[in-house]
Structure 1
Amino acid sequence: MKDKEGKAPSATMERVVERLYKAFVKVAQNDGAPGPDGQTVEDVKKSLSKVIRELERKLVAGTYQPGEIRRKNIPKAGGGERGLGIPNVVDRIVQEAVRQTLEPLYEPEFHGSSHGFRPGRSCQTAIREAHQYVSEGYDWVVDIDLEKFFDRVNHQRLMAVLGRKIGDDRLLKVIHRMLKSEVVMPEGVVVRTEEGVPQGGPLSPLLSNIVLDELDRELERRDLRFVRYADDCNVFVRSERAGKRVMTSLKSFIERRLRLKVNEGKSAVARPRERHFLGFRLEDETPDGEVDIRLSKRTCERIEARLREMTPRNWGRSIKACVEKLNTYLQGWLGFFSIVSEREVSKLGSLDAHLRRRLRAMHLKQWKRKETMRKRLERLGVRGKTARKVLYEGRKSIWALSISSAAHVGLSNRYFTELGLYSLKENWSRKQGSVVVPTQMALPLG
C-alpha cells in the first residue's frame, strides 16, 4: 500500500527498530570478520540487550551515526581484486534491519529477469533463463560489464530513487550516512566515500538491485530478452548486427542516465559459447542441435587449482582427513554446478580421475621408501612381481608412479569409494535421478 504521494507507509524508522533483534539473529548466522572496532559477533551478543536499546534510542532520535568500514581486497576469478567493505557488527545489525524493512517493498516490483540476491532466485535460475533464450534462437549475446559498479554508484541518484518510496526522512538520512561511511583501507589510511555502495554489508545487494532496476525497465521497454545477476547483464538477440546496435545504445543509456561506466575491454557482442556467464558457458554447436550448459574454462581452471591446493604432496595428516576436507568442498561445488548438461559429465569424470591420481601420489609420498610402497601395495592386492617391476625398473617420479598399473590396482577406484571420497560424476547422476551412459571416449586411468 502507498499513500497519495506514492510513499510506502511501512518504510519507517519504527519498523526498522522493531526488527533489530531479528536482524542480529541473521547477522550472527552469517558471522563474518570484525569491522574496524574489532568487535566480534560473540562480543556483541554478550551485551545484546544494551546494544539494541542504544541503537533504538539513536535511530528514533535521528542521532545514529555508522562507524567506519574496513576495506578488504579479495582476488577476482578473472584477475585483479574486488574490494569488500566490512562494517562493524552493530552497523551490520542496523543494515540488516533496514534491508528487512525495505525488501518486501521493492522485491515484488523487481523484474523477473533479475536473479541476483533475491528470494527464490539464484545463479542457476539465471542460467536456465539464458539457456531458454539461446534455445529459442536468440544466439547472440550482448555481454555488458559494468566497470567497478559497486564503487561507482551515484549517491545522489540512489537517494532520489529511494525518496520516491520512503517517506521517513530519518530512514533516508541513516541510509545516506551508511553510504558516506569512511573507509579504512588495507594500509590503514582512512578515506571519505563520495560514491559507491560498499560490498560486504547486508544492505548492499538490495541497493544494487534498486539502482539497476532502472536498467531492467529500459530493457523491458525495448522488448529485449535479458538476464541480470547483480552487475552481470547479458542481453540476447538474433544477429550480430542487432547486438552491436543494442550495445551502442545501452552504453549511452548506462553512462548518461545511470552515471555508471561500461568496461569496453570486457564487454562484447559474441556467440554465447564464446563467453562465460556466472561460471557457465552455453554451447549451441552440438551434434543434435540442443544447447548445452557447460562449465566455463575459468571454472575448470579454478577447481583444478583448488584441488591441487587441497592435495599437497607434503600433507602431514591421514589421507582420510584429506578426503573429508575434499568432500566438503566437492559437495558445495557440485551443489552450484549440478545444472550442467549430460554431455559435460565426462569432464566431471576427468576431474574425479585426476583427483584420485593426486591422492595416490599423496599415499606413495607418505610411504616414502620403495620397499614400503611395495609392501603396502601387496597388502592392497597387487601381485609382488607387478609391484617390484613398476617400482624398481627405471627411475620414476612419485607422479609417474601414481598412474602405474600397480598404484591403480592397489589404490583402486573402489578403494577411494570405500574411503568415502565424493564423486562428482556419480553424484551428478544421482541429482538427475538417472544413470549416465558412459560416452565412447578414451579417458586416462582414473
Structure 2
Amino acid sequence: MVQMATKLVVEPIFEAGFLPCSYGFRPRRSATDALETLRKLGARGGNHVLEVDIRDFFGSINHELLMKLVSRRISDRRVLKLLRLWLTAGVIEDGRRTELVSGTPQGGVISPLLSNIYLHVLDEVWTRRYAHLGTLVRYADDFVIMCRTKKACEEAERRVREILKRLKLEVHPDKTRRVELSWGKQGFDFLGCHLRKVLSGKIWERERKRVYFLQRWPSQRSMKRVRQRVKELTSRKWNWVKDLRVLIKQINPVLRGWGNYFRTGNAAEKFNQVDTYAWVRLRRFLVKRKGRNLRAGEAEKWTREFFVALGLHRLRGTVRYPGVA
C-alpha cells in the first residue's frame, strides 16, 4: 500500500520528462505501440536492427546512481528515505539479514518506475546525441535500435555499450546481436513477437516489384509457452473433473489472454495452430480418460465443434493492425 501510494505521487513527476522512445509501464503506452513503431520504421527503410540484452539488469542497478537520478526531481527527504529503504531491503538467509548494494526488488510495485528512471539516461543521451544512427524503441529493459545501414548499426552498438557502461551495466555478449532485415534475410524477437520482412505478394503480382514489409507474429518461445500451459491443463492430474465444461473454463482465460495480446499483426497462422492444439489436447484427454472403456467410433464425435459447443474459446486470426483491431 505504501509503495503504491508513493508511486502515485512520484510517477507523474517523472512521467512528464520521459521520452517517446520508452513504452514500458507507462500510462497510455503499450507493447503494441512499440511494435507498431517498429513496423512503420521497417516500411520507411529500416533494414538493420541492434538487438540488445542487458546482463542481469534488475540485479545490476547501482543504488547510488539511481538515488542521484531520483533526487534531481524529488527533494522530499521522507520519500527519498523510503525509496532507499526499499532498494536495500535485502534478504534473510540463515536468520541473518543481508543488505542489497545493487539491484531493485523484482515484483515490487515501484520497481518498473525505478527501472524507467534509471534507463531514462539511455533514452536522453541517445535522443540528444545519436538519433541520427537509428531509432531507439525501449520497453523497460528490453530494447532495440532500428537503423538504415549496416555501418550505422555497428556504430550504434558501440555507442550503446558506452552509455550502458556509464550506468554500470553490461550487455550480454551472447544475446546482443546485429540483425539484417533486407530481403527477409533475418528476423528478431521482441516483446513476445518474431519480426521479419516478408515479400508483398500483391505488389509482386500486380507490378512485378519486390517490396518487403516488416511483419510480426508470436515467437517460437511464445508458442511454446501457451502450448505448455494448455498441456498442463489437459494432463492426467485433471482426471477428477467430471464435467468437461469445468476444464474448458480453465483453458479459456489462457487462450483469450494470449489471443488478446497477439491480436494485432500477422498472427492468423499461429492462432490456427494454437486453436487446433487446444482441440487435439482436449480430445486426447477424453480418449485417455476413457481408456479401455472407449467404444469403437466414439472418439470421432469429439470434433472441434463438439468442444466449441461446450464453450471452448476459438482463436481465429486475420491480418489486423491497431487502427482496425
Question: TM-score by structure 2 length?
Answer: 0.87
Contact 1:130/1:226 (CA < 8 Å) preserved in 2? no
- Contact residue 225 and residue 235 of structure 1 kept, 8 A: yes
1:281 to 179, 182, 194: 194
Q: Is the 1:146–1:231 Cα contact (8 Å) retained in structure 2?
A: yes
**Distance in structure 1 (CA, Å) of the matches to 2:158 and 2:75:** 37
Provide the alpha-carbon RMSD of the alignment: 2.2
2:101 paired residue among 194, 210, 213: 194
Which of 234, 242, 251 is equivalent to 2:161?
A: 251
Which structure 2 residue ranges, 5 or more long, are not aligned?
202-211
Q: How far 1:367 moved relative to its partner?
A: 2.1
* Mapped pair 1:425 → 2:299: no
Tell me if structure 2 keeps the 8 A contact 1:243–1:269: yes
1:267 maps onto 2:189 in alignment: no
| Counterpart for residue 126 of structure 2 | 219
> Partner of 2:216: helix, strand, or coil?
strand
* Alignment counterpart, residue 300 of structure 1, candidates 223, 240, 244: 223
**Within 2, Cα distance between the matches of 1:136 and 1:161?**
35
1:414 and 2:305 matched: yes
Contact 1:334 1:428 (8 Å CA) reproduced = no
- Matches of 1:419 and 1:189, distance apart in 2: 54
1:128 aligns with 2:36: yes
Shift of the alpha carbon at 1:267?
A: 0.6
Q: Is the 8 A contact 1:141 1:235 kept in 2?
A: yes
Distance 1:432 1:327 in 2: 26
User: Which of 360-369 and 101-110 deviates more?
Assistant: 360-369
3-state DSSP class of the match of 2:170?
Answer: coil
Tell me, yes or no, if structure 1 residue 362 matches structure 2 residue 282: no
1:189–1:126 distance in 2 versus 1, CA, 3 Å = farther
Measured in 2, the distance between the counterparts of 1:306 and 1:188 equals 37
How many residues are treated as equivalent by the alignment? 305
Structure 1: gaps of 5 or more residues:
1-92, 375-386, 388-405, 435-446
Partners of 2:86 and 2:126 lie apart in 1 by 30
Contact map agreement 2:49 2:146 (CA 8 A) in 1:
yes
Q: Shift in Å at residue 171 of structure 1?
A: 2.0
Residue 420 (structure 1) shift: 0.9
Task: Classify 1:338/1:146 alpha carbon distance in 2 versus 1 (closer, same or farther; 3 Å).
Answer: same
Please give the per-residue CA displacement for 1:341-361, whole angstroms capped at 9, x wherever unaligned.
2xx312211221122111111
What's 2:70 paired with?
162
Alpha carbons 1:295, 1:340 under 8 Å: kept? no
| 1:373 and 2:295 correspond | yes
Higher RCO by CA contacts (8 Å cutoff, separation 6 or greater): 2
Tell me the CA shift for residue 133 of structure 1.
1.3
Q: 1:143 to 1:248 in 2, by over 3 A?
A: same
Percent identity between the two aligned chains: 30
The one-letter code sitting in structure 1 at the alignment partner of 2:52 is I
Mapping for residues 63-78 of structure 1, pairs under 5 Å: none
> Does residue 325 in structure 1 map to residue 250 in structure 2?
yes
The secondary structure found in structure 2 opposite 1:291 is strand
Structure 2 Cα separation of the partners of residues 97 and 433 of structure 1:
37
Correspondences of 1:204-243 after superposition (within 5 Å): 204-221=111-128, 222-223=130-131, 224-243=134-153
Contact 2:23–2:30 (Cα < 8 Å) also in 1:
yes
Structure-2 residue corresponding to 1:140: 48
User: Secondary structure of the equivalent of 2:144?
Assistant: strand
Match of 1:79? none
Partner deviation per Cα, 1:272-305 (whole Å, 9 max, x = no partner): 6532101001120234322211111111111122
CA–CA separation in structure 1 for the residues paired with 2:50 and 2:96: 39
The answer (yes or no) to whether the contact 2:42–2:213 under 8 Å persists in 1 is no
Change (3 A) 1:331 1:263: same
Tell me if structure 2 keeps the 8 A contact 1:159–1:176: yes
SS in 1 for 2:15: helix
Tell me how far 1:182 sits from its aligned partner: 2.2
Q: Name the residue aligned to 2:208.
A: none
**1:339 counterpart = 2:252:** no
Shift of 1:240: 2.2
Choose the corresponding residue for 1:174, options 68, 71, 82.
82
Contact 1:313–1:361 (8 Å) recurs in 2: no
Q: Normalising by structure 1, what TM-score?
A: 0.64
Distance in 2 of aligned mates of 1:111 and 1:428: 30
